[in-house]
Structure 1
Amino acid sequence: MIKTNSWARRIVKALIATTVLLSLVAIVAWLWLRQSLPLLEGELQTGQLEHPVRIERDAQGVAFITAETRNESAFALGFLHAQERFFQMDLLRRNSAGELSELVGEAALEHDQEVRRHQFRERAKRNIAAMPQDQQQILKHYANGVNYGLSQLGAAPWEYALLRQEPRPWDTADSLLTIFSMYMTLQSTTGNFELRDNALAELLPDDLYAFFVPKGGIWDAPLIGDAREAVALPATNIAALVEDGEPMAYQKMESEDMIFGSNNWVVGGALTEHGGAIVADDMHLAITVPNIWFRAGWKVPGTDFEMRGATLPGGPIIVAGSNGKVAWGFTNTTADWGDLIPLELSEDGNQYRTPEGWREFDIVEEEIAISGKPAASVEIRKTIWGPVVAEDHKGNPLAYRWVAHDLRGANMNILKLETVSSTREAMDLAPELGIPHQNFVIGDSQGNIGWTVAGPIPRRVGLDGSRSVSWADGAAHWDGYLSAAEQPQVYNPPSHRIWTANSRTMDGEYLRVMGDGGYALGARQQQIRDDLFARETFTEQDLLDIQLDDRAVFLSRWQEQLATLLDGVDGYDAVREQVIDWGGRASADSVGYRIVRNFRLRFIDLSTAPVLTYMRRYDPEFKFGRVNRQVEYPAWEMLANEPAHLLNPEFESWEALKLAALDRVLEDMAEGGLDLEQQTWGVQNAAKIQHPLGRAVSAVNWFTAMPADHLPGDSHMPRFQSSTNGASERMVVAPGHEELGIFHMATGQSAHPLSPFFGNGHLDWVQGNPSPMKEQAVTYTLTLQ
């Protein structure tokens, strides 16, 4: 008895000691984190401003700046960005400069070596030197504000302590590097779509290429033009692609619409009660902690314009928002803004042919600093057209002519949107905007609406950009850029409605000048269009409802086919019941939706495997990726009509292939360890929104990751959503009526887990609650003297 009591006392003491130790660790961690908390209230003597600047924030952390000059408001925004988001800004600039290894070590070396070929840091310096003086001054004051804001933290942002690093001061060139980072997100740094599409076109029999890689179909919903017609069945037997004894290659496909893109649309004043246009915009990006955007606004000094919207930490601009008279939003065009050029080489491979004759490559060696390791180097081969970025399937080196490399590619002309008064005026600025090319959707307070491409469009001569051709004889080249009058555009259409969603927006000549960079399937865009035409009047809430539309219109015919397949097949009774009762939405609690959605993808895997097998004979690393975004059309033809000569020869019948696809879906679901009725779409689509360091240091997720909410929505519908990608913001605003506007943002304003703004507003984003766009009652005021 005495021995038992002794052991009990020891266990109790051990538990108490452990509790005390954990409490001390928690207190130390809390005190450590508090040191880097941003300043919210009071006054600071900056020694850098001629006039006081007031920064007001509401309970959600939405900031509004009042300053005497635009330079001083830029300083204040830089201060805010540094205090709340400096590590995020640092990642953005290092990402495009190819300098991540210096911060995080050898794990980023391959990325840095790939990116250094573009020499974005040198291009940023060049572009800034060419800017008007007023823009250079805004960038300079912004950088000064960033560095001052960083200096006023009690300690460097907490991420640097984990990495055992010190933050590097901000430079004006770094702001343009954030634009180049967006190029890398929204466009390919190596022309991948063109590279893979060319390989398919050259290697596959013509009829199989036309069938498996169509350019569109019945789901298209362009602003100008019509849906494409169905492609005819090929005559070639698909079994001819596979050699005897050759193992079949299978690749598990994620949805071909899981791309970084967006939705936006606008309705004209003729359809609204207040007579102003209403713009809706939700930009789909990878969602991490913190969010890529920071909500802010400011009075434009000397004017009656007031800016509100989403800023990108790293720059002194509103990316999407309103100036009180004009509102705008963006979606990625997914058009063609670069050309791969196969080089004609000399016998020794040291020269390439140009219109002026043979020329040697410009060879540059760049050094890459690596944290904890000796520096590495990378060799860059440059041509008169651009750097060598890849080889084609024949082994020919390819140079890349890319808008991002040009002076017009990145600038601060988006600042001019702060004082435009009309949709027409904003549209005229579009070719001057040095940003990754966007569907620029605009509405003004007078009810006018418009669409055009924001960004410079190259004037191609001797090529249309769809195929890689030699430029050696000068017949193929770029002849500058299109003027505003030549830009594709739509202004005040008779329907009073404009819609875009990364799919094809144009036809005819406008489509020719934009080209095809891997357009998304049109289903999402079509559902938005149909939602807009289902009403004759609109409020801001009506447009939010469209943003949250998770009806599975696109998958309805797949659900019908699967239910019919299972009718009378033994062993699938419970599955068929779930499929029949799927609810017709990407609802978080639907098991049937998950089954139908994944059945389609596994069917595509199995039915297209002979094509993949054939392509990997020439390129072992070949992947369909973006080149296969229109795969719905051949997939549906094979599912619905079962052409015998297109059957994967590893299966005895189409029914066997379909059931095999379904079995793979059910096997994947069973791995979750839950009963079928518990394997909902929400279980698969649970939020995984983490800090970038959380992928390497799991403990970071304990205090930074957002809850693993079961999320509704999916690809091919307006409510685009996956575990890690989705609407980084949802904005609905009528210029001049910002008090009626709605704004959702995942995570929150601050990157600091102890900030009152950390995660504040995230629940509205998850649940779709209408939260205000305009800042609310002032909770904190900070004055920069």
Structure 2
Amino acid sequence: MTTFPFLKRYMPALIISLLGLIIIFLIGSWIWLRQSLPILDGTITTGELKDPVVIERDSQGVPLIHSENRNSSAFALGFLHAQERFFQMDLLRRSSAGELSELLGASTIKHDQKVRLHQFRQRAERNIAAMPAEQKALLDQYINGINFGLNQLPAKPWEYLLLGQKPRPWNSADSLLTIYSMYLTLQSERGSYELRDTALAELLPADLYAFYFPQGGRWDAPLFGEAREKVSLPETPISALLDEQDTIVYQAMESDDKIYGSNNWVVGGNLTAHGGATLANDMHLGLSVPNIWFRAGWSIPGTNRFVRGVTLPGGPIMVAGSNELVAWGFTNTGGDWSDLIPLELSEDGNQYKTPEGWRSFAYETESIAVKGSDPKTIEVRTTIWGPVIGTNHDGVPLAFRWVAHDTLGGNMNLIDMEVVRTAEEALELGPTIGIPHQNLVVGDSNGNIGWTVAGAIPKRVGFDGSRSISWADGSAYWDGYLSPQEHPRLYNPESGRIWSANARIVDGDYLKLMGNHGYALGARQQQIRERLFAQEKFNEQDLLNIQLDDQAVFLERWQQHLLTLLEDQQDYREVYTQIQNWGGRAAIDSVGYRIVRNYRLKLMELTTAPILTYMRRYQPKFSFGQLKRQFEYPLWEMAQQEPKQLLNPDFESWNAIKLAALDQVLEKMNRSNQPLKRQSWGAENTAKIQHPLGKAIPPLNWFLAMPAEPLAGDTHMPRFQSPTHGASQRLVVSPGRDADGIFHMATGQSAHPLSPFFGNGHQDWVKGNTSSFIEREPRYRLTLN
């Protein structure tokens, strides 16, 4: 009993002491964090540069580098990347090299083991040795700038202080590893699409495969060719896939266009008031703190022009932007740039058959360093075609032939884009660029526009690449790569319009060259095309309006479908009203939109479950993955025609399966215990943009994550948006009129929470406000001597 008077007497002092400790901790943390802030003003003697370089930064931290020596501006860019983004760069190189575990520990061992099969560090070193001397000299200066910038920080980047690690110096191979990191993001390192599609084609009855997995349909909007024909109902019943004892397996469906991709388009000079081309590009990637891109600009030696746009920290290259004569942008192609080769083995399994006879496997050992633990070793088994990366559905080992493995697959030729003078020159450069294959769209100040594939295209002989077939007898192989003259290309089309958005963009012979590795459905691309043909004149704001278009054109028929389904259903009157008044957009306040889009995905899940069940008999971990991108066509036919032979046997009628899909959607929405009128699209589509360490250490999100704001837009429309993926940047620019251009970038320039640039510009990205493509008035000035 005497304890309580004691506490009463000393409680104020305890509270004051506790508050004092908290204040001391916060002040100490603030001082600790400030030590790793970049240098913004002043003069630094580098001991590296022949001529001084001036770096001006505006209020958002966008730098403009002034130098008459390109190698010196590369040094300055490396300095900036290291000071602002070294931890991000480190993650990129380690991800593609399979070296994350050395920094982060055992949680990333599986990733490292998978990636080490490709031995990208060795390939990067090989490619550096083959690099032209001029590029190598520029890269060397960029690397010198990185390491100098890192050493100039008063303290190592705060992430390393938190992890108790030391940052490792940068080298030339690391810069190519950042390119390979984009391969891992934009293409499959295991040929997933071909692996699954081959299994489906070989295991399913032919008519069921053709129906459920078409190559396209009415939503196609290619630059060349037409949309595909309507799918036909199969005669084989879905029950033919199932045994009596089978339990139907269900797998939740995410949006069938939730992919790493982008939008870009360009209009020619005949469609602008000034006669120059105008280009728009928004690259869709995972959203994090910091943004994957770093905005920058630098002077082009020998001219009075600047190149501006976005760089990828780790490389001295302008990825997308304008050099005041030409503007360029990218979207992921969705083409087929790899092949899986089923191997014919000897009886003992130690050899594989080649056109020259039996050959023994080569073996190499890779050691993976692990923070706080012993190294892990893996054995890489290789063939003349590439590494063995797994087995197919029959257990046959598969060798992997991939453009990324070849010298042409990774280089710095994109650096030459900053000095091209015409759209035609840019198109000629495209095929030589060693990056994950992109739709390169360009426009110049004279009004010319064009499209080609950036990246080397293999010459397939004896097969089209759509299926995994043996190369053992020599009838199927790659015969090198297409010449630049053989590449698909479009220049100054009569319409004055070019567009791409990850869907199929070509047909006929061009499609045979590009192949198919999982094109997006096409609705987003078609909506862009229709918006472009709805006007005859465009300015920058007009193109931004298309980027921000969240009209639900693709789902309009599904909204009508649901209204018809519920017309006589008295138990769903409130739901019916919300759907009826959905607004026709992926708006943050629309309840009806959320219901319609999720109903479609749930119906997709329920109707395709028998196929999933059947495939897992052969591959226990089988997943539709990328293949569900074209499910829209069979799904719509089933919803309209209600074929008895295709009804999931877990349901007694098509009406029952439709209402079950809707009920499951509503049940999930109701888990929040909020009235239906509050269950809007924005409540589901809420930003979750975090620092990588914030994902592992949630308390860090308090001051590192971007605000959890509701976001307009969705996947099947130009305003591509999900909580964690979306437009990593938006740019609209007419080369030569760059001051009139528009630019948005999520999260801002810096990942440092105490930086004056942290989060600057993010609200322009969220709200779609007009924001300048070029830098604003200089606020900071740093000279490197």
Task: Give the percent of matched residue pairs that are identical in Structure 1 and Structure 2.
Answer: 64
Q: Which amino acid aligns with 1:745?
A: M
Letter in 2 for 1:159: E
Q: What residue in structure 2 maps to residue 259 of structure 1?
A: 259
Q: What does 1:422-571 correspond to in 2, within 5 Å?
A: 422-571=422-571
The answer to whether residue 700 in structure 2 is matched with residue 726 in structure 1 is no
Aligned pairs for 1:54-453 within 5 A? 54-453=54-453
Distance 2:405 2:381 in 1: 15
Deviation for aligned residue 1:600: 0.3
Determine if contact 2:68/2:299 at 8 Å carries over to the other structure.
no
Q: Distance in 2 between the 1:673 and 1:85 partners?
A: 42
Moved more, 14-23 or 273-282: 14-23
Match of 2:52 in 1: 52
Residue 693 of structure 1 aligns with which residue?
Answer: 693
The separation in 2 between residues aligned to 1:673 and 1:604, in whole angstroms, is: 26
String of CA shifts for 1:214-238, please: whole Å, max 9, x gaps. 0000000000100000111100111
Q: TM-score, normalized by length of structure 2?
A: 0.99
Measure, in 2, the Cα distance between the counterparts of 1:628 and 1:483. Answer: 34
SS of 1:565 mapped into structure 2: helix
| TM superposition shift of 1:282 | 0.2
Q: Give the match's secondary structure for 2:59.
A: coil
Report the secondary structure of 1:782's partner residue. Answer: strand
Answer whether contact 2:721 2:727 (CA < 8 A) is retained: yes
Point out the more displaced range, 560-569 or 707-716: 560-569
Offset from partner CA, 1:11-33 (integer Å, 9 cap, x none): 43333222222111111110000
Match for 1:28: what amino acid? Answer: G
Contact 2:38–2:84 (CA under 8 A) maintained in structure 1? yes
* Counterpart AA for 1:542: D
- Give the Cα–Cα distance (whole angstroms) in 1 for the partners of residues 18 and 732 of structure 2: 51
The one-letter amino acid of 1:767's match is K
- Note the 1:597-608 alignment, pairs <5 A: 597-608=597-608
CA contact (8 A) 1:305 1:418 kept: no
Name the residue aligned to 2:745: 745
1:88 shift after superposition: 0.1
The residue type paired with residue 61 of structure 1 is G
- Tell which deviates more after alignment, 489-498 or 664-673: 664-673
Cα distance, 1:5 vs structure 2:
8.0
Alignment correspondent of 2:29: 29
The secondary structure found in structure 2 opposite 1:291 is: coil
C-alpha distance 192-2 of structure 1, shift in aligned 2 (>3 A)? closer
* Amino acid paired to 2:622: F
The letter of the residue matching 1:319 is V
SS in 1 for 2:320: strand
Counterpart AA for 1:371: K
Q: Distance in 2 between matches of 1:444 and 1:577?
A: 50
Cα distance in 1 for partners of 2:3, 2:649 equals: 73
Residue aligned with 1:443, SS = strand
Structure 1 letter corresponding to 2:351: Q
Structure 2 letter corresponding to 1:120: F
> How far 1:8 moved relative to its partner?
4.9
How many pairs does the alignment contain? 785
Secondary structure in 2 aligned to 1:374? coil
Report the Cα distance in structure 1 between the residues aligned to 2:638 and 2:144, rounded to whole angstroms.
60
- Matched residue SS, 2:570: coil
Per-residue Cα deviation, 1:559-604 (whole angstroms, up to 9, x for no partner): 1111111112132111111111111000011111101010000000
Aligned-pair distance for 1:10? 3.9
Letter in 1 for 2:674: L
TM-score of the pair, normalised by structure 1: 0.99
For residues 732 and 158 of structure 2, the distance between their equivalents in structure 1, rounded to whole angstroms, comes to 34
Could you give the per-residue CA deviations for residues 310-363 of structure 1, whole angstroms, max 9, x where no partner exists? 000000000000011000000000110001000010000000011111100110
Deviations 1:646-691 (A, max 9, x none): 1101101111001110111011111122211111111111000000
- Asked whether the 8 Å contact 1:694–1:701 carries over to 2, the reply is yes
Give the match's secondary structure for 1:572.
helix
Letter in 1 for 2:726: G
Task: Give the Cα–Cα distance (whole angstroms) in 2 for the partners of residues 98 and 777 of structure 1.
Answer: 42
Aligned partners of 2:694, 2:750: CA distance in 1, in Å?
17
Structure 2 unaligned segments of length 5 or more: list them: none
| CA shift in 2, pair 1:394/1:28, >3 Å | same
Deviations 1:268-314 (A, max 9, x none): 01001111100100000000000000000001212344110000000
Mapped to 1, the partners of 2:30 and 2:269 lie a distance apart of 52
Q: Structure 1's 348 and 302: CA in aligned 2 closer, same or farther, altered over 3 A?
A: same
Partners of 2:628 and 2:762 in 1: CA distance: 34
Q: Distance in 2 between matches of 1:303 and 1:408?
A: 30
* SS in structure 2 at match of 1:370: coil
Contact 1:305 1:419 in 2 (8 A): no
- Distance between the aligned counterparts of 1:95 and 1:397, measured in 2? 25
CA contact (8 A) 2:339 2:400 kept: yes
Distance 2:738 2:492 in 1: 22
Q: Deviation digits for residues 506-553 of structure 1, max 9, x if unmatched? A: 000000000001000000000000000111100000000000000000
Are residues 512 and 21 of structure 1, via their aligned partners in 2, closer, same or farther at CA, if it must alter by over 3 Å? Answer: same
The corresponding residue for 2:668 is 668
Distance 2:333 2:8 in 1: 69
3-state secondary structure, aligned to 1:716? coil
Q: Describe the superposition over 1:230-281 as per-residue Cα deviations: whole angstroms up to 9, x where unpaired.
A: 1111001111211102110000010010000000000001001111100100
Cα deviation, residue 3, structure 1: 10
SS of the residue 2:755 aligns to: coil
Q: Distance in 1 between matches of 2:562 and 2:42?
A: 64
Deviations 1:704-763 (A, max 9, x none): 000001000001100000000000000000000000000100001011110000100000
CA distance in 1, matches of 2:416, 2:695: 39
Output the CA distance in 2 between the equivalents of 1:771 and 1:281.
15
Q: What is the rounded CA distance, in whole Å, between the counterparts of 1:95 and 1:674 in structure 2?
A: 41
What is the alpha-carbon distance in structure 2 between the residues aligned to residue 236 and residue 3 of structure 1? Answer: 81
In 2: Cα distance, 1:304 partner to 1:337 partner: 40
Asked if the contact 1:281–1:329 (Cα under 8 Å) also holds between the matched residues in 2, the reply is yes
Offset of residue 641 of structure 1: 1.4
- Paired residues of 1:98 and 1:111 also in contact (CA < 8 A): yes
Taking the aligned partners of 2:295 and 2:635, their CA distance within structure 1 comes to 42
Residue 2 of structure 1, CA deviation:
12
Q: Distance in 2 between matches of 1:374 and 1:673?
A: 48
Give the conservation status (yes or no) of the 8 Å contact 1:311–1:319.
Answer: yes
For residues 646-661 of structure 1, the aligned pairs below 5 Å read 646-661=646-661
Match for residue 756 of structure 2?
A: 756
Gaps of 5+ in 1: none
Hey, what's the Cα distance between the residues in 1 that align with 2:5 and 2:686? 47
3-state SS of 2:310 partner: strand
Q: Report if aligned partners of 1:265, 1:500 keep a CA contact under 8 Å in 2.
A: yes
Secondary structure of the residue aligned to 2:630 is coil
Preserved contact between residue 194 and residue 340 of structure 1 (Cα < 8 Å): yes
Q: CA deviation at 1:390?
A: 1.6
**Map of 2:628 onto structure 1:** 628
Q: Are the structure 2 counterparts of residues 3 and 180 from structure 1 closer, same or farther at C-alpha, using a change threshold of 3 Å? A: closer
